[in-house]
């Protein structure tokens, strides 16, 4: 079981737990504002953009090339940006903090 | 080649030049064929604008048949942002439980009907009624209203063999005017009434703006959904193993729908008007000329997709652009996705096989390219499980 924290653009912090699926699905199941996941998780819509807390990058790993290409034109994107439909929920990401981009 | 296949006519030009040329009614279009170039262009709304003369960013151009600006489609930020925000919540209603339930009931009823029948012409007797009835949910009006739209035929703007048909367009515009009059006289909970009561930047939407949103809602989701539905039926007719797989692995439903939408690219391209001399893919484009974002080509770009010409039903990474990219991503995408997910799940549940009996391809003439986008007619027989 992984505990995961989302900080939305209004500064509100929500911690939820899960053990399967993607971080996007976990956020959507808990109505985290700003995570829409329109395409259902195939990396086509960029509506699940988060910034990973810098210290947590080693747990989540970096964005793949396809993710980076999706994000490169986004003014909010930086080196900590991920599309969280591409991050699998597992014990490996327990304690990670995501800042929702939109 | 399979009858359900949609060949990629852009492959050679995409590799060689990255662009194509189309002379559309004397207002030529430089078509952008590679995914990366397309994304950059779509994102750069200052140089490649949507807020040009109404109808000009549509290919073929509708400048000669339409004066009303489609909203938010034919606006640029910051105006676009405000109008889009005003309508966004309404167009996300397809995610609500009641909407999804009503859509499922509509689709199950129609699939049960075609399973009872003998042969079915899919475009007119399946895709058109399905698209029309589902649109009553998006507008939040009684389902019976769909009968009027079904009677218009498959194309609001196009007649077979005629690229643009002003008379048909007028049927739609006159109808929308009548409906706006009705909503003014007797407001309800339908989209017309909601728009009439909406404000943008502190001011109520004008009648002309309401007209613009409604024209977009009718036109944007008609041919596109009809193509997607018809192509899906043709695909499953020739790929019964895929129907089987969706039955035994329902968890791939979402990926399957995104992949079908990538492969079909129901809308071939959308234009932009160039505001200053610029370059696309190292080719000069002049101020006041047009470019187009060719979704159908970008979706087959081997730089982004493995086996781009195959339908890989459980494709995991699928950065397709069938619903557009950046500010102007498709307003109706939530509705379209919900409809297609429900359709594919219902077919998998109820249908054992589909016999493809007869077909006539719908091939678009893009001058340099001829693209099959779907079918003018497709006759099949559905067999129940």
pLDDT digits (tens, 9 = 90+) for B148-175: 999 988 766 554 445 566 677 788 999 9
CATH number for the domain formed by residue range(s) A2-100: 3.10.20.30
Report the complex ipTM: 0.94
Instruction: State the smallest CA–CA distance between residue B169 and chain A in angstroms.
Output: 31
Helix (H), strand (E) at residue B243: helix B240-248
Could you please state the CATH topology (level 3) that the domain comprising B11-384 is classified under. Cytochrome p450 (1.10.630)
pLDDT (tens digit, 9 = 90+) per residue, A22-55?
999 999 999 999 999 999 999 999 999 999 999 9
User: What integer is the mean pLDDT of B185-207?
Assistant: 97
- Confidence category of residue B1, pLDDT binned at 50, 70, 90: confident
Contacts of A43 in chain B (CB under 8 A): 317-319
Instruction: State the smallest CA–CA distance between residue B194 and chain A in angstroms.
Output: 24
Q: Which of B36, B318, B334 sits opposite A44 (nearest CB)?
A: B318
CA distance A10 to B238: 50
B321, two tokens = 């652009």
pLDDT at res. B156: 62
Contact B255 A66 (CB under 8 A): no
pLDDT at res. B294: 98
Residue boundaries of the structural domains of chain B: 11-384
A76 touches chain B (CB under 8 A): no
CA distance A80 to B263: 32
Q: Which of A56, A50, A44 has the alpha carbon at shortest distance from A32? A: A50
Q: How many CB pairs under 8 A join A and B?
A: 46
Residue boundaries of the structural domains of chain A: 2-100
pLDDT at res. B153: 82
Q: Give the side-chain half-sphere CA count within 13 A for B294.
A: 30
A1 close to A69: Cβ distance less than 8 angstroms: no
pLDDT at res. B87: 98
CA distance B120 to B382: 8
Contacts of A66 in chain B (CB under 8 A): 304, 317, 319
User: What integer is the mean pLDDT of B121-149?
Assistant: 97
A70 close to B319: Cβ distance less than 8 angstroms: yes
pLDDT (tens digit, 9 = 90+) per residue, B336-356?
999 999 999 999 999 999 999
Contact A42 B315 (CB under 8 A): yes
Residue B285: CB partners within 8 Å, gap ≥ 6? B30, B274, B277, B278, B279, B291
- Helical spans, DSSP H, in B47-127: 79-88, 97-116, 122
Residue carrying structure tokens 């309401």: B210
Q: Which of B39, B258, B337 sits opposite A73 (nearest CB)?
A: B39
Residue carrying structure tokens 């699926």: A21
Contact A44 B320 (CB under 8 A): yes
The residue of chain A with its CA nearest to that of B262 is: A44
């Amino acid at each position: 079981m992984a505990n995961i924290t989302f900080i939305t653009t209004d500064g509100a912090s929500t911690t939820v737990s899960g053990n399967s699926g993607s971080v996007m699905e976990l956020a959507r199941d808990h109505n985290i504002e700003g995570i829409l996941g329109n395409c259902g998780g195939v990396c086509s819509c960029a509506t699940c953009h988060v910034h990973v807390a810098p210290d947590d990058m080693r747990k989540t790993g970096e964005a793949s090339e396809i993710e980076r290409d999706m994000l490169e034109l986004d003014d909010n994107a930086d080196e900590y940006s991920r599309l969280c439909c591409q991050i699998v929920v597992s014990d490996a990401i327990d304690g990670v903090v995501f800042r929702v981009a939109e | 080649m399979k009858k359900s296949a949609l060949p990629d006519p852009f492959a050679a030009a995409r590799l060689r030049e990255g662009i194509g040329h189309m002379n559309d009614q004397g207002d030529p279009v430089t078509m952008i064929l590679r995914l990366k170039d397309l994304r950059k262009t779509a994102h750069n709304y200052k140089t490649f604008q949507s807020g040009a003369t109404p109808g000009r960013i549509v290919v073929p151009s509708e400048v000669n048949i339409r004066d009303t600006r489609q909203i938010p489609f034919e606006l640029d930020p910051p105006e676009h942002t405000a109008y889009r925000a005003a309508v966004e919540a309404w167009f996300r209603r397809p995610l609500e439980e009641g909407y999804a339930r009503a859509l499922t009931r509509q689709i199950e009823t129609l699939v049960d009907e075609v399973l009872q029948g003998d042969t079915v012409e899919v475009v007119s007797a399946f895709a058109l009624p399905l698209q029309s009835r589902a649109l009553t949910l998006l507008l939040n009006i009684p389902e019976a209203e769909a009968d009027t739209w079904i009677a218009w035929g498959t194309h609001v703007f196009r007649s077979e063999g005629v690229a643009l048909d002003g008379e048909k367009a007028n049927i739609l515009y006159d109808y929308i005017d009548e409906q706006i009059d009705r909503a003014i006289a007797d407001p309800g909970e339908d989209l017309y009434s909601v728009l009439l009561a909406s404000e943008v930047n502190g001011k109520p939407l004008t009648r002309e703006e309401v007209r613009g949103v409604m024209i977009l809602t009718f036109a944007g989701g008609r041919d596109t959904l009809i193509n997607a539905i018809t192509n899906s039926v043709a695909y499953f007719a020739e790929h019964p193993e895929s129907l089987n797989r969706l039955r035994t692995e329902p968890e791939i439903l979402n990926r399957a729908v995104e992949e079908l939408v990538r492969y079909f690219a129901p809308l071939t391209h959308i234009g932009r008007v160039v505001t200053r001399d610029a370059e696309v893919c190292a080719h000069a484009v002049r101020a006041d000329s047009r470019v187009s974002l060719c979704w159908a080509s970008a979706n087959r770009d081997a730089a982004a997709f493995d086996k781009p010409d195959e339908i890989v039903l459980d494709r995991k990474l699928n950065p397709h652009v069938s619903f557009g990219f950046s500010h102007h991503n498709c307003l109706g995408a939530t509705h379209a996705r919900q409809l297609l997910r429900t359709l594919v799940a219902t077919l998998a549940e109820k249908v054992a096989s589909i016999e493809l009996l007869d077909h006539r391809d719908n091939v678009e003439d893009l001058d340099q390219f001829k693209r099959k986008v779907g079918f003018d007619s497709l006759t099949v027989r559905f067999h129940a499980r």
